[in-house]
């Protein structure tokens, strides 16, 4: 076993994800199977290979820079239109500073 239920709980904690006991049991099985399959990559010697993070093309170093001009922003009202809870021009969340 690569993955235990206790390890699944740790990872869910990192991912900010509530899981039910049934989901944890299922994920332990699935992740174990999938991660075992992923171990096939260890057959390859990649000691001299540079990692590829992105598909890149030839272009000038400054190609993606644009003039520093102010573009009208989307506006507070539009930006907050989808907020579950907003107030005074901000997103509202449960109290962060503990008493």
Partner 1 sequence: MNQIASLTIEQVQAGLAARQFSAVELAQSALEFAQAENPKTNAYLHFCPERALAAAERVDKKLAAGENAGPLAGVPIAVKDVIVTQGVRTTCGSRLLEHYIPPYNATAITRLEQAGAVILGKTNCDEFAMGSSNENSAFGPVRNPVALDRVPGGSSGGSAAAVAQGTAVAALGSDTGGSVRQPASFCGVVGVTPTYGRVSRYGLVAFASSLDHIGPFGRTVRDAALLLETMAGRDECDATSAFAPVPSFTKQLDGEVSGTRIGLPREYFEGLASESGDRIRHAVALLEKLGCEVRDISLPATKYAVPCYYIIATAEASSNLARYDGVRYTTRANEDTLSGMYRATRGQGFGAECKRRIMLGTYVLSHGYYDAYYLKAQKVRALIAEDFRRAFTQVDAIVAPVSPSPAFKIGEKVDDPLEMYLSDIYTITGDLAGIPCMSVPCGKTSEGLPVGMQILTRHFDETGMFRLADAFEKAGGFAGSN
* Residues near partner 1 (CB under 8 A), total: 53
What is the distance between the alpha carbons of residues 28 and 8, in angstroms, rounded to a whole number? 6
- Residue choice 6, 21, 55, 99 for contact with partner 1 (CB under 8 A): 55
* Cα torsion 82, 83, 86, 90: sign: negative
CB of 68 to partner 1, least distance (A): 13
CB of 95 to partner 1, least distance (A): 8
What is the distance between the alpha carbons of residues 63 and 82, in angstroms, rounded to a whole number? 34
Hey, which bits of 27-95 come out as E strands? 86-87, 90-91
Strand partners, 86: 91
Residues lying near partner 1 in the complex (CB under 8 A): 3, 8, 11-12, 14-20, 23, 26-27, 30-31, 33-35, 37-44, 46, 49-55, 57, 59, 63-64, 66, 74, 78-79, 81-85, 91, 93-96
């Amino acid at each position: 076993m690569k993955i235990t239920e206790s390890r699944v709980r740790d990872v869910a904690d990192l991912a900010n994800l509530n899981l039910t006991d049934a989901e944890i049991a299922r994920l332990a099985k699935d992740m174990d199977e999938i991660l075992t399959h992923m171990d096939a990559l260890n057959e390859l010697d990649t000691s001299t290979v540079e990692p590829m993070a992105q598909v890149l093309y030839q272009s000038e170093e400054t190609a993606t820079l644009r003039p520093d001009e102010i573009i009208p922003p989307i506006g507070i009202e539009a930006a907050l239109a989808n907020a579950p809870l907003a107030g005074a021009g901000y997103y509202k969340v449960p109290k962060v500073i503990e008493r």
